[in-house]
Amino acid sequence: MSASRKVGVIVFPGSNCDRDAGNAWACDLGLGESVYLWHADAQLPPDLGAIVVPGGFSYGDALRAGAIARFAPIMSEVSKFAADGGLVLGICNGFQILCEAGLLPGALVRNEAMRFVCRSVNLRVATTNTVFTMHYAPGEVIAVPIAHGEGRYVCDDVTLSTLSQEDRVIFHYCQPDGTVSATANPNGSRANIAGIVGGPNRNILGMMPHPERAVLARLGSTGGAALFAGVRDALVIADAVANPVMRIA
């Protein structure tokens, strides 16, 4: 197996979606190998293709979600990995951690209704100009579950304008027909934002919904499968570029 298809999944005290993410990649979809990285690790394996910062309640969400996890030794390595163009996917608590760590702009705060929300939602694909969404159709609507109490994405006007101008919002909460409306917004996120990208090569994704829980039809949806397939294909392409096959005529 190509080393580039090895994905590292971080485990914090309080993580509860790490196995979901690792199994989605390696077992459910069979896209590569998953390895688990402890929060106190100060070094990454040398052959990782991507990193998942998973959902859960890291450090019990003390202070606020992600506020302590950003200081974990492993996050310094994640920052370096991302700065070098490595693919990083932050899901739910992972999105919160990436924002707290300054790897993505904005913040995730308490849901507008001040209640934990756990249900399936519809997402409209806002752009396919990312590794993570290249296998979706523009405007495609997918069903993906959410489970969060601090999932309301907030940012200032300048940040929102920048995200829009740079085509960095990749998912909006929407109605089943794709209409982006207030009634489709489960947490009060600004502009119905469910996921954004950042990084030097649009290589960092943060999203509140759980694509790792939407890869098998028997679980209710396959809406997240194409996201992981996009990561796999990007890693395969990167590996081919880095290790070209020499042919002798």
d(CA 159, CA 164): 9
Which residues, other chains included, contact 209 with Cβ-Cβ below 8 Å and sequence gap of 6+? 91, 92, 121, 123, 144, 145, 146, 171, 194, 195
118 given a catalytic annotation: no
212 given a catalytic annotation: yes
Phi, psi angles (nearest 5°) of residue 219: -95, 0
Phi, psi angles (nearest 5°) of residue 168: -105, -5
Given the residues 92, 99, 155, 174, select the one marked as catalytic: 92
Given the residues 39, 148, 172, 210, select the one marked as catalytic: 210
Given the residues 77, 100, 150, 212, select the one marked as catalytic: 212
Distances (CA, A) of 118 to 24, 111, 129, 232: 20, 12, 29, 28
Residue type, 51: I
d(CA 52, CA 59): 17
Q: Which residues are known to be catalytic?
A: 92, 210, 212
